[in-house]
């Protein structure tokens, strides 16, 4: 206890940021949850098809998050130094990378939808549903990147409320349009999976319009406008790339590994059961682990600001306190996920008995590994990256994900023909394996680096 901070302001700030960011994450994931539940009640095949496309969306989300974290890390440092002038230039650099990545994925999804989906499943019925969904949802990619990059720039200076205001409006619009377009209410045609994609496209467009309105009329700290974001001091691009590139590589590897995980599960013999079970269980984990992700983002902002203010003598206590809180959050998250199994299976009442039992087993695995996730992910993204140690995460993910988990899962699925739950555990075991490595890295203090001018 003597190593922990005894500053009420610290805990109050952490709690406010964590809960605000957790609420934003909850509302963001709830958009996918609404599609998931409402399509699940429409048909199991529609649910499976949309879930495959959501892997591409997750891949884009990981890339945009990697680009956005570079803005947050650098922006928080300059904010701590009370030097706001470079922040619009850093945001402008990040926007160029984020929008370019989204545009490339949009073109690929628009021109080659069948080829992309065929990589993730061999079931023709699921493939047909997925292609219908992807041909519409790909139009949200650039809109999604713009919105998330702009909200990340606000998060770097501690403005987080706009994030969940945007997400709440999106969720309401998405649910209402899903009800009308998926099932064909109020005289509309029953479009099924295409209706869900149209609803999401409209919701994402409204998101972007809200954030543009906020920047124009309500944001008075940075006073961002398109001129500031387009005509930037290009000398800051080098600083941005130095910090952000390793994070972008890490997020790319993580997003690509998620697609490969889906491909491994989707190409098993009983894919018709495995794909919906994986989709439901992973979404349940995302929804119920939002506090852990919120804590990571809050820690990144507070660590970056502390280092920017020059309080290096306090950083050891800050990092230790964060790690204790991450572990506590992880234990509670695991218990909540475990207790959610029954209610979740009652919601998805169209699942076959075999798929329902597999979903129960997958959720149990995630309840166990979530303890590790809430510690190592938050310590990595919230402490190490905020300190400027972005290369460590890149190598750590390369070893655990690509050299251990994916090969073990592929061998388990296609050589030894183990059960789906064993394969699923192989895909998630890196969440536990990373913990001691992350702990030793934080303790070493080698993660504190100079990244600002």
Domain-by-domain residue ranges, the chain?
Answer: 1-233, 238-452
Task: Please report the pLDDT score of residue 315 as a whole number.
Answer: 78
364 pLDDT above the threshold of 90: yes
Task: Please report the pLDDT score of residue 408 as a whole number.
Answer: 92
Contact criterion met (CB below 8 Å) for 394 and 251: no
Both tokens assigned to 222: 């940075």
Higher pLDDT, 306 or 323: 323
Percent of the chain with pLDDT over 90: 12
**Helix residue ranges per DSSP H, 122-234:** 124-137, 141-155, 161-183, 193-217, 226-230
Task: Please report the pLDDT score of residue 2 as a whole number.
Answer: 56
Q: How confident is the model at residue 312 (pLDDT cuts 50, 70, 90)?
A: low
Average pLDDT, whole number, for the chain? 82
Average pLDDT over residues 65-79: 75
126 pLDDT above the threshold of 70: yes
361 pLDDT above the threshold of 90: yes
453 pLDDT above the threshold of 60: no
Q: What is the DSSP letter of 349?
A: T
387 pLDDT above the threshold of 80: no
State how far the alpha carbon of 379 is from the alpha carbons of 131, 151, 294, 325, 372, in Å.
38, 22, 12, 10, 10
Q: How confident is the model at residue 290 (pLDDT cuts 50, 70, 90)?
A: confident
Task: Please report the pLDDT score of residue 386 as a whole number.
Answer: 75
Q: How confident is the model at residue 451 (pLDDT cuts 50, 70, 90)?
A: low
Average pLDDT over residues 205-212: 88
H or E stretch at 336:
helix 315-339
Average pLDDT over residues 423-427: 92
What number of CA atoms fall less than 13 Å from residue 181's CA on the CB side? Answer: 18
329 pLDDT above the threshold of 80: yes
């Amino acid at each position: 206890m003597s190593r922990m901070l005894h500053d009420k302001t610290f805990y109050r700030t952490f709690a406010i940021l964590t809960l605000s960011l957790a609420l934003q994450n909850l509302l963001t994931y709830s958009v996918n949850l609404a599609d998931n539940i409402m399509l699940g009640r429409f048909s199991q095949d529609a649910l499976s098809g949309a879930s495959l496309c959501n892997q591409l969306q997750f891949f884009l989300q990981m890339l945009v998050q990697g680009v956005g974290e570079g803005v947050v890390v650098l922006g928080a440092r300059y904010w701590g130094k009370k030097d706001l002038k470079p922040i619009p230039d850093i945001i402008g650099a990040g926007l160029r990378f984020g929008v370019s990545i989204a545009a490339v994925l949009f073109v690929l999804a628009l021109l080659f939808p069948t080829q992309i989906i065929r990589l993730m499943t061999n079931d023709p019925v699921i493939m047909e549903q997925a292609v219908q969904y992807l041909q519409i949802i790909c139009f949200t990619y650039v809109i999604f990147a713009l919105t998330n990059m702009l909200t990340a720039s606000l998060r770097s200076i501690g403005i987080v409320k706009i994030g969940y205001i945007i997400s709440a409006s999106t969720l309401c619009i998405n649910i209402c349009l899903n009800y009308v377009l998926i099932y064909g209410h109020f005289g509309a045609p029953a479009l099924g999976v295409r209706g869900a994609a149209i609803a999401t496209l409209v919701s994402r467009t409204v998101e972007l319009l809200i954030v543009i309105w906020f920047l124009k009329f309500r944001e008075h700290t940075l006073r961002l406008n398109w001129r500031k974001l387009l005509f930037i001091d290009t000398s800051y691009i080098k600083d941005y790339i130095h910090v952000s590139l390793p994070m972008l590589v890490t997020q790319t590897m993580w997003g690509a590994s998620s697609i490969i995980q889906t491909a491994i599960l989707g190409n098993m013999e009983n894919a018709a059961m495995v794909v919906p079970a994986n989709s439901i269980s992973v979404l349940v984990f995302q929804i119920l682990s939002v506090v852990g992700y919120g804590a990571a983002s809050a820690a990144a902002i507070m660590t970056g600001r502390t280092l920017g203010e020059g309080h290096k003598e306090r950083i050891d206590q800050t990092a230790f306190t964060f790690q204790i809180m991450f572990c506590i959050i992880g234990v509670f998250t695991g218990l909540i996920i475990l207790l959610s199994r029954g209610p979740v299976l009652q919601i998805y009442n169209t699942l076959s008995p075999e798929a329902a039992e597999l979903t129960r087993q997958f959720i149990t695995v995630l309840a166990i590994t979530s303890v590790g996730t809430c510690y190592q992910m938050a310590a990595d993204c919230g402490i190490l990256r905020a300190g400027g140690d972005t290369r460590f995460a890149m190598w750590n993910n390369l070893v655990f994900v690509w050299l251990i988990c994916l090969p073990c899962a592929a061998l388990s699925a296609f050589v030894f023909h183990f059960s789906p739950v064993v394969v699923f555990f192989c895909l998630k075991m890196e969440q536990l394996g990373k913990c001691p490595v992350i702990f030793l890295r934080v303790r070493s203090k080698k993660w504190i680096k100079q990244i600002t001018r």
